Amino acid sequence: MAISYNTNSFLCITVLLLLVPINHSLNSDDLVSELTILRARSTTGVIHLSNILLIRMLSVPVPRPFTLLVFFDSQKLHSDSEISLPTLKNEFLILASSFHANNPANNKKLFFFEIEFQESRASFALFGVKSLPHGCLVSPFATDFERDSIQMESSDFSRHAESMAEFVEAKSKHTVGPIHRPGFISKKQKMSIIELALILSLFLLKKIISGNTLLHNKNTWMVGSIFVYFFSVSGTMYNIINKIPIAMVDTDDPGKLVYFYDGSGMQLGAEGFTIGFLYTILRLLLAFVTHVLVHEKNRNIQRLVMFLAIFVSFWAVKKVFYLYYWKLGFGHIYG
Amino acid sequence: MEKATDLFSLKSLKLKTKQQELLLRISILGLVYILAFITRLFSVLRYESMIHEFDPYFNYRTTLYLTQKGFYDFWNWFDSESWYPLGRIIGGTLYPGLMVTAAFIYWTLRFLRFAVHIREVCVLTAPFFASNTTLVAYFFGKELWDSGAGLVAAALIAICPGYISRSVAGSYDNEGVAIFALLLTFYLFVKAVKTGSLAWSLASAFGYFYMVSAWGGYVFIINLIPLYVLVLLVVGRYSMRLYVAYNCMYILGMLLAMQIRFVGFQHVQSGEHMAAMGVFFLMQVFYFLDWLKHLLNDQKLFQAFLRITLTCAISVGAIALGVGTASGYISPWTGRFYSLLDPTYAKDHIPIIASVSEHQPTAWSSFMFDFHILLILFPAGLYFCFKRLSDATIFIVMYGLTSMYFAGVMVRLILVATPAVCLISAIAVSATIKNLSQLVRTKAKPTQGGSGKGTTSTKASSKGALDRSLPYQRNGAIALLVGAFYLLTRYAIHCTWVTSEAYSSPSIVLAARGAHGNRVIFDDYREAYYWLRQNTPQDAKVMSWWDYGYQITAMGNRTVIVDNNTWNNTHIATVGRAMSSYEDEAYEIMRSLDVDYVLVVFGGVTGYSSDDINKFLWMVRIGGGVFPVIKEPDYLVNGEYRVDKGAAPKMLNCLMYKLSYYRFGELTTEYGQPPGYDRARGVEIGNKDIKLEYLEEAFTTSNWIVRIYKVKPPKNRW
């Protein structure tokens, strides 16, 4: 995914570069201790890299006492499912935390950074980043970040944290060690949990058999069936499995969002929900008319609500079919 | 006296309407039966009487073998012509129900001196069983609601696109008979639960046996029925009838199912069948406790006993399950089953399942396409079912909801949901129309004297609706009736249109619209397979992607390396690896597999989009899953799959690319485009100068859809 700069950012860098020597002339030890503090402050162990911090690192004489691993992020592109930035960022965080967990003594040699496009365009330009996802390793000897940094290839991203770790180990002398995924339940644990649940469920069953619980109530089952129905016909499984966003940006007009996808092979999240909602209206109206409305004493109100219900149902059915024909593009067959 | 004659005349009239009703019912059912058959004949009329798609070719080939060599040879058949050099034990790795059914029909026809070809029998098996399904649907609907609902259900299922998609003439596949068997089993089981009779449960066990012999989808039955029993237990509907029905059906069904070699002892060994067994034991415990309660009058003593037995039973069960799983006696769930419960599983872990288009999750438009107004009627039907809860309606609600969920996970399971959706919608249609027509007729009754049309039974003159009738009631009811009929007509139009346009193409003969709107037929597949049959040595081995394996063996009569029975992932991955390697590396693999010919499918000339280049990424993924030397990113440019100048270098030089685009650079496919313009992907190809070193072109069909290459023998001089 390509990203665009404005020309101002280049000006910005030059200004920053000019300013740096005046502002700071700090030695490398100070920087390392400052970075350690910054890292301790961050909950994830990854330091948020700003333009100023980067420039200061540049000002330290080579060889720097540490290696940088930078992940380039852009909030704006998080919604793009194709490049899946959030997943990669998460993997990067896992990589960082695994590194810190495995190398508590050696962790002043390699620092993990993430950098946001919106606030640090200048730094992006400094690294020469043209497209995302992008990550790079900066060795202690690098003077020009664009030229000397080692870029992560797409194959290094492909198997997530594991392949990123391989990249780090191959391109620098640091070892990352095994990747620790948080909250990961092993298969054995899962099985034992399931078994426990089964045993518990049997005790519950005993209670159910004896008493008049929620499960004996018809309405619980009805609500459940509405839910299953809504869930299925709106194609929610499709959205979950293929990780489809609710809406996507119009390719012709970036300012506009597309909620309905024209073409039968694909659907967007909003679309499924709309359809499911239209179907459900019908059902709820039916329940309302047959169960609530009959208790109403006033005939006129009854009549009015009834007409309203018929009208809304008619509208909902009409709308569903309209959308369906539009989506499949064969409206002309039925007219 | 006057009253008495009145009563008498009414009585005789009633009898008469009943007869009329019976006549009408039978004739409607007969018409539906015929309709279900003829609506599936579009493909025969439009093309010719032939077998469709991929899997049916295997079924056809085995049926042919069965009718020629007899049942025992078929049962013991070791097929050395597929999965070279491994071979395949056919008898032990297929569901024989379909083949035996077709062979049985064939022998019966022969016995009656009808000289038919086995191919015609195979082509028409699915429509014939679809007709039978309508009968079962009628009886099921009658059991659930009334005969009106049964008739509507039969009519709905006869033309429902969700079912037609797998049962048009020529679609000679397991599902064709399996849906009949599925619905029959369910119907018989519901009947058994209702009556508590051993005969019905025995019948349902045999229905289940037929289902097991026909389709792997029987797993749905063996899980739904226990679930249903469990729900009945939970909501306090346990009865002796249920006990008899379930136990008889489970034990007999299990024993019968074990006779199918492909299923074998899975009923006691595989995790997918454990739910049924658990519920079976639970029922015994339930019955035992019931009996004890009857014996022990002391409540306190019984409570203590209950606690001890329950704890013991549960812990024994849990330990047995745990030990069985740990020791490997009970096999864990298969990937396909697991992916139904956790739908994201297949996408991440099993590319060979995820690669098949019919295993994709369902978008809402596909639901609409296959069910149309039934989707809107379905909730209304559910409402009626909930309103009149019985053991039968609980069953259909559960069947409807579970299958609806599964249909959301996998497109092909819409098929399983179709009968349930039709039945539930039929209840909605029937109940609504009945109520409305009763409203219409209450006013008319004094004048017309009850000489109704007879489609709806004339019992109970609508519960005193007369005295509380609203103004406009009759007109409103008429309007709603007209609306309902309008919707149903729309449904019929939609179904016919979908059948004729979408579901009746054989996919082995391709049709396209020409520039002047005329129909152009591409018969390249058969051209290629007949070429193989007539121009290659008898023992030639053909390598192709697995999609075409069944067709090559059935029509080309040549040995293949892999086919659609994807039982050996490594073997398929080897072929995937060969296709995605450079020519010299691929040559080594092909030599090791004794490959003589390589067959690729190419749509660049005709614009046929499901060709091998478009399937290629799956070959890479499946190959890479076993051989890590194959890496998907090597074939992509910035995550994008391209074949033009900007394509990845590995892509431009891999075997699949070379074989697909060999000599294509010289060809002008479209006016105004440079030579080598790929019409399927709409780009000019990136490598026009392809030289083959280890293979030579043997045959290319008239529209270039199938291309066959001969593997050169190794050089004997250097």
Question: Mean of the pLDDT values across residues B90-98?
Answer: 90
> Comparing B78 with A167, which gets the higher pLDDT?
B78
Nearest C-alpha in B relative to A192: B322
Nearest C-alpha in B relative to A267: B363
> Comparing B389 with B344, which gets the higher pLDDT?
B389
Nearest C-alpha in B relative to A188: B326
Over residues B299-309, the pLDDT tens digits come to: 777 777 777 77
Token digits for B290? 């019931």
Mutate to test the interface with A, among B364, B390, B412, B614 (most CBs of A within 10 A): B364
Output the DSSP codes for B222-289. Answer: HHHHHHHHHHHHHTT---HHHHHHHHHHHHHHHHHHTTSTTTTTHHHHBGGGHHHHHHHHHHHHHHHH
Q: Is there a contact between A215 and B234 if contact means CB atoms under 8 Å apart?
A: yes
- Cβ count near B292 (within 10 Å): 14
Q: Is there a contact between A286 and B380 if contact means CB atoms under 8 Å apart?
A: yes
Please tell me which of the candidates B322, B364, B493 has its beta carbon nearest to residue A235: B364
pLDDT of A309 reads 87
d(CA B580, CA B600): 13
Could you state, in order of their start, the residue ranges of all structural domains in chain B? 15-151+168-172, 178-331, 362-442+474-507, 523-711
Please tell me which of the candidates A205, A216, A240 has its beta carbon nearest to residue B343: A240
Q: Which CATH class is domain B523-711?
A: alpha beta
Q: How confident is the model at residue B711 (pLDDT cuts 50, 70, 90)?
A: very high
The most confident of the ranges A149-158, B6-15, B192-201, B604-613 is: B192-201
Q: Is there a contact between B376 and A282 if contact means CB atoms under 8 Å apart?
A: yes
B405 contacts on A by Cβ (under 8 Å): 228, 231-232, 237
pLDDT of B305 reads 76
Q: Is there a contact between A232 and B470 if contact means CB atoms under 8 Å apart?
A: no
**Who contacts B495 (Cβ-Cβ below 8 Å, separation ≥6)?**
B39, B159, B160, B161, B164, B372
Query: Burial, B495: exposed, middle or buried (Cβ in 10 Å; 0-12, 13-18, 19+)?
Result: buried
Nearest C-alpha in B relative to A276: B364
Q: How confident is the model at residue B334 (pLDDT cuts 50, 70, 90)?
A: low
Query: Number of C-alpha atoms within 13 angstroms, CB side, residue A82?
Result: 9
Q: Is there a contact between B380 and A282 if contact means CB atoms under 8 Å apart?
A: yes
Q: Is there a contact between B363 and A233 if contact means CB atoms under 8 Å apart?
A: no
pLDDT of B258 reads 93
Strands in A89-193 per DSSP E: 110-116, 134-138, 150-151
Q: How far is CA A231 from the centre of its chain?
A: 22
Q: What is the rounded average pLDDT for all residues in chain B?
A: 86
Please tell me which of the candidates B362, B368, B631 has its beta carbon nearest to residue A238: B362
Side chain identity at residue B255, one-letter code: L
| Cβ A89 vs Cβ A74: under 8 Å | no
B362 contacts on A by Cβ (under 8 Å): 235, 237-238
Over residues B38-66, the pLDDT tens digits come to: 999 998 988 889 998 888 999 999 999 99
Mutate to test the interface with A, among B323, B344, B365 (most CBs of A within 10 A): B365
pLDDT of B256 reads 95
Mutate to test the interface with B, among A208, A210, A218, A237 (most CBs of B within 10 A): A237
Over residues B209-229, the pLDDT tens digits come to: 999 999 988 999 999 999 999
Closest CA to B143 of B184, B109, B176: B184
Share of chain B above pLDDT 70, in %: 89
d(CA A11, CA A108): 33
Give yes or no for residue B507 having a pLDDT over 70.
yes
Nearest C-alpha in B relative to A222: B386
Q: Does B379 sit behind a cis peptide bond, omega within 30 degrees of 0 on the bond before it?
A: no
pLDDT of B451 reads 35
Give yes or no for residue B445 having a pLDDT over 50.
no
Q: Is there a contact between A225 and B497 if contact means CB atoms under 8 Å apart?
A: no
Please tell me which of the candidates B314, B361, B636 has its beta carbon nearest to residue A242: B361
Q: Is there a contact between B234 and A209 if contact means CB atoms under 8 Å apart?
A: yes
Q: Write down how long chain B is.
A: 718
pLDDT of A305 reads 86
**Minimal CA separation from A272 to chain B, in Å:** 6
Over residues A199-219, the pLDDT tens digits come to: 777 777 666 666 666 666 777
Side chain identity at residue B163, one-letter code: Y
pLDDT of B600 reads 94
Nearest C-alpha in A relative to B480: A310
pLDDT of A258 reads 75
Closest CA to A116 of A146, A149, A144, A77: A77
Closest CA to B189 of B221, B153, B155, B154: B221
Q: Is there a contact between A195 and B363 if contact means CB atoms under 8 Å apart?
A: no
Closest CA to A320 of B198, B378, B396, B677: B378
Side chain identity at residue A49, one-letter code: L
| Cβ B394 vs Cβ A221: under 8 Å | no
pLDDT of A297 reads 79
Tell me, letter by letter, the H, E, C secondary structure of B64-111. Answer: HHHHHHCHHHHHCCEECCCCCCCCEECCCCCCCHHHHHHHHHHHHHHH
Please tell me which of the candidates A206, A236, A328 has its beta carbon nearest to residue B365: A328
pLDDT of A330 reads 61
Nearest C-alpha in A relative to B389: A218
Q: Is there a contact between A241 and B344 if contact means CB atoms under 8 Å apart?
A: yes
> Comparing A244 with B618, which gets the higher pLDDT?
B618
> Comparing A208 with B519, which gets the higher pLDDT?
B519
**Minimal CA separation from A199 to chain B, in Å:** 7
Nearest C-alpha in B relative to A325: B365
**Minimal CA separation from B592 to chain A, in Å:** 30
**Minimal CA separation from B409 to chain A, in Å:** 6
Over residues B398-437, the pLDDT tens digits come to: 999 999 988 888 888 899 999 999 999 999 999 989 988 8
Side chain identity at residue B110, one-letter code: R
Q: How confident is the model at residue B457 (pLDDT cuts 50, 70, 90)?
A: very low
Q: Is there a contact between A333 and B408 if contact means CB atoms under 8 Å apart?
A: no
Q: Is there a contact between A235 and B318 if contact means CB atoms under 8 Å apart?
A: no
Over residues B5-19, the pLDDT tens digits come to: 455 555 555 567 888
d(CA A137, CA A140): 10
Q: Which positions of chain A have pLDDT values less than 50?
A: 1, 5, 7, 18-25, 332-335
Q: How confident is the model at residue B673 (pLDDT cuts 50, 70, 90)?
A: confident
Q: Is there a contact between A226 and B379 if contact means CB atoms under 8 Å apart?
A: yes
pLDDT of A82 reads 64
Contacts across the A-B interface (CB distance below 8 Å): 145
Token digits for B128? 């014939």
Mutate to test the interface with B, among A189, A193, A238 (most CBs of B within 10 A): A238
